[in-house]
Amino acid sequence: MSKNSTNRLMPLLMAVCVVVGIVVGTFYANHFSGNRLNIINSSGNKLNNLLRIIDDQYVDTVNINDLVEKAMPQILAELDPHSVYISARDGEIANDDLRGSFFGIGIEFTIRQDTIRVQNVIGNGPAERAGVIAGDKIVEVDDSIFVGKKVTNEEAMHRLKGPKDTKVKLGILRYGEKKLHHITITRGEIPTKSVTACYMLDQDCGYIKIRNFGENTYPELLIALAKLSQQSFSNLVIDLRGNTGGYLESAVQIANEFLSRGQLIVYTQGRAFPRQDYRADGRGSYQRLPLVVLVDESSASASEILAGAIQDNDRGTIIGRRSFGKGLVQKPMEFSDHSMIRLTIARYYTPSGRCIQKPYNNGNHYDDDWLTRYQHGEFFSQDSIKHTGPEYHTNNGRIVYGGGGITPDIFIPEDTLGVTSYYKEAAMSGLILQFAFTYTDDNRAKLSALKGVKEMETYLKRQNILEQFVVYADKNGLKRRNLMIQKSQKLLERFVISRIIYNIHSEQSWTEYLNQDDPVIKETLRLFHNEGAFPQKPVAGARGKNVAKAGDGRAIRQINTLIAHA
């Protein structure tokens, strides 16, 4: 039995080797010449012969294409954490957020109890015009039952999205009704927004939240700035917390708005790609505007390019916690079947010359970097930050570090006051989301009639919304713990109310509510009030450490990533 198992595994291992040879050989054959090409070709020919032998003589039928699909991710995983293979089926979805639009029906949805629940309907989109409303359950797609374990975000988006002007037939159950509604929707172009919030924090300070850096992020930012200009803003905060990045070019365009002519924004360099500098052209309209940029441990890639450019040029102040630490540049390369790879081709460097890519081992592993940071106490104390890279200096001579993210100028520790095991379980189990959605469904008409965030907050507190959640959670497996609930009261109530606000209104309303008592925002306003947004030259021999009071936890803001679009 053992011998037979070994014999069956050997061809699979050989097939993986074949795939390695094919991928590497094809890549180099298309991009290089000379002796290296001859070496790759000779190895590729050998492995191609082996592949033909397996296909011709192996005891069982082998689907070579399936082997390739399974092996490709593993091959790229040996390189670094960000070189990835994307199948033809997933390629469209993978690019939607960055393209600025996609073709679909125009809904935000979440999956609860193995069923698609419509979270929001995009105004004047195909779904709204066809009669879909928030709270609807989608149980059929094109006359096929679509409930149960097969209902995942990926599968739902695959079925609901599609080419423009194609049709999809949905079977919908509506709250309070037993009859199944059948609605046919003609797919259309659905915009996706990178700038998710834009409003005035006070009479002087404008606030812009950027979710990612896509094709349309820069024009969206210009529109947001124009809107704030109409309200006579004189200070600006750009919130990049939770922004995992996107296109380098978008980050460069945005940095250009705030930097003077000739100032370096970022440069890239790789083994096969010579250094390329990106500099400000001097045409930016906001070169002297007091500026603050907010980052946290989820801010990555293009977020770090923008934050690094502002910090190294002493153009503004960075507030928050140390960013993620992604300093690798990927190039998309598409195959004939529309599958693609994103291959790391270079590193990017901030103006001071630092690469902020954090260490990684075994190809795609960061060795639980977030857990390590947490255990070291980095989220709670600036003194606990472990810098692995050398020191660099900003234009003013301030010390900054490479080798692991952007360390903020003003550190805001994560809040642990009020965090209990009850709160953690309520937040991470999904019970708060489930309760908020159910409560919204049961009271949608009444909640929709309330005007603005403040009015809804006041109403929900009068309804003793926290006690309603505790009762709901107790019935669904989270035992009531009165002392813990009392200690976590503020956090729990804030979380529950924020989710109901999001369900009824928009991401901007959700952001406005969370920002009301956010210590990061309070510190930002304090800095502007003291006219301290522009960093000063350090005092000789001094290594200043700026620490503000505790900031809000990650769970409330990051939970919004559970919402999908179609």
Condensed to tens digits (0 to 9), the pLDDT of residues 66-112 reads 877 888 888 888 899 899 998 887 776 666 666 777 889 999 888 87
Distance CA 490, CA 497 (A): 11
SS3 99: helix
Distance CA 54, CA 21 (A): 15
Spell out the SS3 assignment of 139-154.
EEECCEECCCCCCCHH
pLDDT for the residue numbered 486: 96
> And the tokens for 562?
């559970």
- Work out whether strand 340-349 and strand 115-121 pair parallel, antiparallel, or are unpaired: unpaired
Altogether, the residues listed in the chain come to a count of: 566
Distance CA 262, CA 260 (A): 6
185 bridge partner residues: 168
What's the whole-number mean pLDDT along residues 534-560?
Answer: 61
113's CB contacts (< 8 A; 6+ apart) are: none
Is 301 labeled as catalytic in the residue annotation? yes
pLDDT class for 39, splitting at 50, 70, 90? very low
Alpha helices by DSSP H, listed for 161-300, are 217-229, 248-256
CB 111 within 8 A of CB 117: yes
Distance CA 338, CA 331 (A): 15
- Work out whether strand 291-295 and strand 137-141 pair parallel, antiparallel, or are unpaired: unpaired
Is 96 labeled as catalytic in the residue annotation? no
pLDDT class for 549, splitting at 50, 70, 90? very low
- Work out whether strand 340-349 and strand 264-269 pair parallel, antiparallel, or are unpaired: antiparallel
pLDDT for the residue numbered 350: 97
pLDDT tens per residue, range 366-424 = 666 656 665 666 666 666 667 777 899 999 999 998 878 999 999 998 877 888 999 99
- Rg (the chain; Cα; Å): 26
What's the whole-number mean pLDDT along residues 433-453?
Answer: 89
pLDDT for the residue numbered 373: 65
Q: Measured at the alpha carbon of residue 151, what is the angle toward residues 149 and 153, in degrees to the nearest 5? A: 130
Is 326 labeled as catalytic in the residue annotation? yes
Helix/strand/coil percentages in the chain, nearest 5: 40, 20, 40
pLDDT for the residue numbered 45: 72
pLDDT, greater one: 390 or 512: 512
Pick the catalytic residue: 83, 250, 301, 352?
Answer: 301
pLDDT of 25 > 60? The answer is no
213 bridge partner residues: 246
DSSP labels for 28-46? HHHH--SHHHHHHHHHHHH
pLDDT class for 26, splitting at 50, 70, 90? low
pLDDT for the residue numbered 561: 47
* Average pLDDT score, the chain: 85
pLDDT of 282 > 90? The answer is yes
pLDDT for the residue numbered 565: 73
pLDDT-above-70 percentage for the chain: 82
Pick the catalytic residue: 136, 312, 369, 415?
Answer: 312
Phi, psi values for residue 209, rounded to 5°: -105, 125
Distance CA 292, CA 207 (A): 10
pLDDT for the residue numbered 562: 56
DSSP class of residue 539 equals P
CB 280 within 8 A of CB 255: yes
pLDDT of 35 > 90? The answer is no
Q: Measured at the alpha carbon of residue 189, what is the angle toward residues 188 and 191, in degrees to the nearest 5? A: 140
Alpha helices by DSSP H, listed for 339-481, are 369-376, 421-428, 431-442, 444-448, 452-462, 465-475
Q: Which of 83-97, 279-293, 509-523 has the lowest mean pLDDT?
A: 83-97
User: Inter-axis angle of helices 217-229 and 248-256, to 10 degrees?
Assistant: 30
Sole residue written with tokens 């050998």: 46
Alpha helices by DSSP H, listed for 286-430, are 302-312, 369-376, 421-428
pLDDT tens per residue, range 444-473 = 889 999 988 999 999 999 999 999 999 999
- Residue 479 parent element (H or E): none
pLDDT for the residue numbered 564: 72
> And the tokens for 341?
């790879």
Distance CA 394, CA 496 (A): 42
pLDDT tens per residue, range 304-356 = 999 999 999 999 999 999 999 999 999 989 888 888 999 999 999 999 999 99
pLDDT for the residue numbered 501: 94
Q: Which of 210-214, 293-297, 332-336, 373-377 has the lowest mean pLDDT?
A: 373-377
CB 171 within 8 A of CB 140: yes
Q: Which amino acid is at 465?
A: I
pLDDT of 3 > 60? The answer is no
pLDDT for the residue numbered 312: 98
pLDDT for the residue numbered 225: 98
Q: Look at the alpha carbons of 354, 356, 359, 364 in this order and tell me if their dihedral is positive or negative.
A: negative
What's the whole-number mean pLDDT along residues 155-164?
Answer: 89
What number of helices (H) and strands (E) belong to the chain?
Answer: 20, 23
Pick the catalytic residue: 193, 209, 326, 358?
Answer: 326
Q: Which amino acid is at 247?
A: Y
